[in-house]
């Protein structure tokens, strides 16, 4: 869906994006992770033809960008640097204007398309309330609704949960998961480690304009070699596994071995019930630190 080779953007002597090789596959929820100022938005703008690259190539859905931008953009929904809307108009009125600027179908079905995308993002029934009275979460939903008018195959979103409270973040996350389940490939930039970890299937990490990691999330979060055990009898378990327990948090024990079956058998043989057992996986933050040694301190868990 997205492929770049050696993508570079310089402003004078300043290199903002440095030789980026991105690969976003059909069906991915790709998290483009990096600190504010790392070059994420510039990259997104180059992907959409809003900024011309200094060097390198871009392909969207197999088409060269910016050469074939006019042919590709109707298949792409994009939200860059927050949703734009006329505050004195209602949400539906804003979407009608958006559709009129580049119709996604017959004029006669415009109202139906608007109604459908509002329902998709959970804004059906908002009536004639003006956008200036919307919460930030509602504005974000309206912005995403605008990207869906053309039934896109690819969504490109720049910090879609920026500034939202935890409930708003949860709502946007559930919406994006649903869209992806319906077949939409999603590329989103973010500086939030925890959000990318909960939402994305594939991750690219940008640090000072360079792509320092790119892989499936599960591959990045490979097992640590330890196992986690939850038991209603943690004190007995600690006594039995003396010397092998690395850490304890209530009924949750971190065991410094990798053989879950052997530990489970040992506990059960001693009459200690096991509620849960399995390998400990690295967090995304730990994975980034392991790869780079320093990049994770430039993004946030909040």
Q: What is the pLDDT of residue 140?
A: 84
What pLDDT, in 10s, does the model give residues 189-217?
Answer: 988 888 888 899 999 999 889 999 999 99
Q: Looking at domain 223-281, which CATH architecture does it have? A: 2-Layer Sandwich (3.30)
Query: Distance of alpha carbon 38 from its chain centroid, rounded?
Result: 16
d(CA 239, CA 63): 63
Burial of 51 per CB tally in 10 Å (0-12, 13-18, 19+): middle
- Asked whether residue 104 carries a pLDDT value surpassing 90, the answer given is no
- Alpha helical stretches, state H, 213-295: 217-220, 234-240, 260-269, 284-292
- Asked whether residue 297 carries a pLDDT value surpassing 70, the answer given is no
Please name which of 98, 168, 88 lies closest in space to residue 129, comparing C-alpha atoms.
Answer: 88
Which of 245-249, 267-271, 278-282 is predicted with the least confidence, judged by mean pLDDT?
278-282
Question: Residue ranges per domain, the chain?
Answer: 2-220, 223-281
| Three-class secondary structure of residue 204 per DSSP | strand
Give me 103's structure tokens: 């119709």
Q: Beta strands 29-33 and 202-207: pairing type? A: parallel
d(CA 121, CA 273): 45
d(CA 132, CA 220): 42
CA dihedral 251, 257, 259, 262 (to 10 degrees): -70
d(CA 265, CA 172): 43
Q: Among the ranges 64-68, 140-144, 159-163, 165-169, which has the highest mean pLDDT value?
A: 64-68
What pLDDT, in 10s, does the model give residues 44-78?
Answer: 999 999 999 999 999 999 999 999 999 998 899 99
- With cut-offs at 50, 70 and 90, classify the pLDDT of residue 84: confident
- Asked whether residue 97 carries a pLDDT value surpassing 80, the answer given is yes
* Pairwise pLDDT comparison (296 vs 43), residue with the higher score: 43
User: What is 2-220's CATH topology?
Assistant: Rossmann fold (3.40.50)
């Amino acid at each position: 869906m997205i492929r770049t080779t050696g993508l570079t953007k310089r402003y004078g002597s300043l290199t903002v994006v440095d030789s980026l090789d991105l690969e976003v596959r059909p069906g991915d929820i790709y998290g483009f992770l990096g600190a504010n100022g790392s070059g994420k938005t510039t990259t997104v703008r180059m992907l959409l033809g809003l900024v011309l690259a200094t060097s390198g190539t871009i392909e969207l859905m197999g088409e060269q960008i910016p050469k074939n931008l006019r042919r590709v953009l109707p298949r792409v929904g994009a939200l860059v640097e927050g949703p734009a809307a006329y505050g004195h108009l209602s949400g539906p009125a804003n979407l009608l204007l958006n559709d009129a600027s580049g119709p996604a179908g017959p004029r006669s079905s415009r109202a139906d398309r608007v109604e459908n995308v509002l329902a998709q993002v959970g804004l059906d029934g908002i009536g004639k309330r003006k956008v200036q009275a919307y919460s930030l979460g509602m504005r974000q939903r309206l912005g995403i609704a605008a990207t869906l008018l053309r039934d896109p195959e690819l969504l490109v979103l720049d910090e879609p949960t920026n500034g939202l409270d935890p409930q708003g973040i949860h709502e946007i996350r559930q919406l994006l998961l649903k869209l992806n389940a319906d077949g939409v490939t999603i590329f989103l930039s973010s500086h939030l480690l925890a959000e990318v970890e909960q939402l994305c299937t594939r991750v690219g990490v940008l640090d000072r304009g360079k792509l320092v990691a790119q892989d499936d999330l599960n591959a990045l979060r490979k097992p640590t070699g330890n196992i986690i055990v939850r038991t209603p009898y943690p004190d007995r378990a600690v006594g039995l596994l003396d010397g092998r327990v690395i850490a304890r948090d209530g009924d949750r024990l971190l065991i410094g071995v990798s053989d879950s079956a052997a530990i489970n058998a040992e506990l059960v043989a001693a009459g200690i019930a096991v509620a849960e057992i399995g390998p400990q996986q690295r967090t995304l933050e730990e994975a980034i630190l392991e790869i780079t040694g320093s990049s994770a301190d430039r993004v946030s868990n909040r």
